[in-house]
Amino acid sequence: MQLTGSQILVECLKEQGVDTIFGYPGGAVLNIYDELYRHQDEIRHILTSHEQGASHAADGYARSTGKVGVCLATSGPGATNLVTGIATAYMDSVPMVAITGNVAVNLLGKDSFQEVDIAGITMPVTKHNFIVKDVAQLADTIRRAFLIAQTGRPGPVLVDIAKDVTGNKTEYTKVIPPMIERVKDTFSSEDLATGIQMIEEAKKPVIFIGGGAVISDAWEEVREFVKRVDAPVTDTLMGKGAFSGDDPYYTGMLGMHGTKTANFSVTECDLLITVGSRFSDRVTGNTARFAKNARILQIDIDAAEINKNILVNHAVIGDIKEVLKAFNDKLEEQKHGDWIAHVMDMKEKYPLKYHERGLTGPFILRKLYELTGGDAIITTEVGQHQMWSAQYFNYKKPRTFITSGGLGTMGYGLGACIGAKVANPDKTVINIAGDGCFRMNMNEIATATRYNIPIIQIIFNNHVLGMVRQWQSLFYGERYSYTTLNDCVDFVKVAEAMGAKAYRITKVEEAEEVLKEALRINIPVVIDCILESDDKVWPMVAPGAAIEEVFTEEDFKAK
CA distance 34 to 172: 19
Query: What pLDDT was estimated at residue 181?
Result: 87
Closest among 214, 276, 222 to 62, alpha carbons compared: 214
For the chain, the structural domain boundaries read 2-171, 189-349, 361-544
**Residues with a known catalytic role:** 51, 113-114, 163, 467
CB neighbours (10 Å) of residue 70?
28
Q: Any alpha helices (H) in 175-233, and if so which ranges?
A: 189-201, 211-215, 219-229
Query: What pLDDT was estimated at residue 486?
Result: 87
Instruction: Note the pTM of the prediction, 2 decimals.
Output: 0.97
CA distance 509 to 307: 51
Query: For strand 205-209 and strand 456-461, is the pairing parallel, antiparallel, or unpaired?
Result: unpaired
* Beta carbons within 8 Å of 555's beta carbon, 6+ residues apart: none
| Model confidence pLDDT, tens digit, residues 495-532 | 999 999 999 999 999 999 999 999 999 999 999 999 99
Strand order in the sheet with 96-102: 44-47, 20-24, 69-73, 96-102, 156-162, 128-132
Same fold, 189-349 and 361-544: yes
Query: What pLDDT was estimated at residue 309?
Result: 96
CB neighbours (10 Å) of residue 360?
21
CA distances from 260 to 125, 163, 264, 295 (A): 34, 56, 6, 21
Q: How many residues does the chain have?
A: 559
Q: What is the mean pLDDT of residues 246-273?
A: 98
3-state SS of 379-390 is EECCCHHHHHHH
Query: What pLDDT was estimated at residue 487?
Result: 86
Banded model confidence at residue 314, pLDDT cuts 50, 70, 90: very high
CA distance 559 to 556: 5
Domain 361-544 CATH assignment equals 3.10.129.10: no
Q: Strands (DSSP E) along 13-81, which ranges?
A: 20-24, 44-47, 69-73
pLDDT of 356 higher than 90: no
pLDDT of 13 higher than 90: yes
For residue 47, which phi and psi values (nearest 5 degrees)? -80, 110
Query: What pLDDT was estimated at residue 519?
Result: 98
CA distance 275 to 259: 19
| Model confidence pLDDT, tens digit, residues 441-475 | 999 999 999 999 999 999 999 999 999 999 999 99
pLDDT of 491 higher than 90: yes
For residue 376, which phi and psi values (nearest 5 degrees)? -155, 160
CA distance 193 to 197: 6
* Beta carbons within 8 Å of 420's beta carbon, 6+ residues apart: 60, 61, 63, 64, 377, 379, 402, 427, 429
pLDDT of 183 higher than 90: no
Query: What pLDDT was estimated at residue 559?
Result: 78
pLDDT of 357 higher than 90: no
Adjacent-strand bridge partners of 459: 433, 528
Quickly name the fold that domain 189-349 has: Rossmann fold (3.40.50)
What number does CATH give the domain 2-171?
3.40.50.970
Closest among 411, 406, 416 to 378, alpha carbons compared: 416
| Model confidence pLDDT, tens digit, residues 88-136 | 999 999 999 999 999 999 999 999 999 999 999 999 999 999 999 999 9
Q: Any alpha helices (H) in 301-429, and if so which ranges?
A: 320-330, 337-349, 361-372, 384-392, 413-423
Q: What is the mean pLDDT of the chain?
A: 97
Q: What is the mean pLDDT of residues 381-391?
A: 98
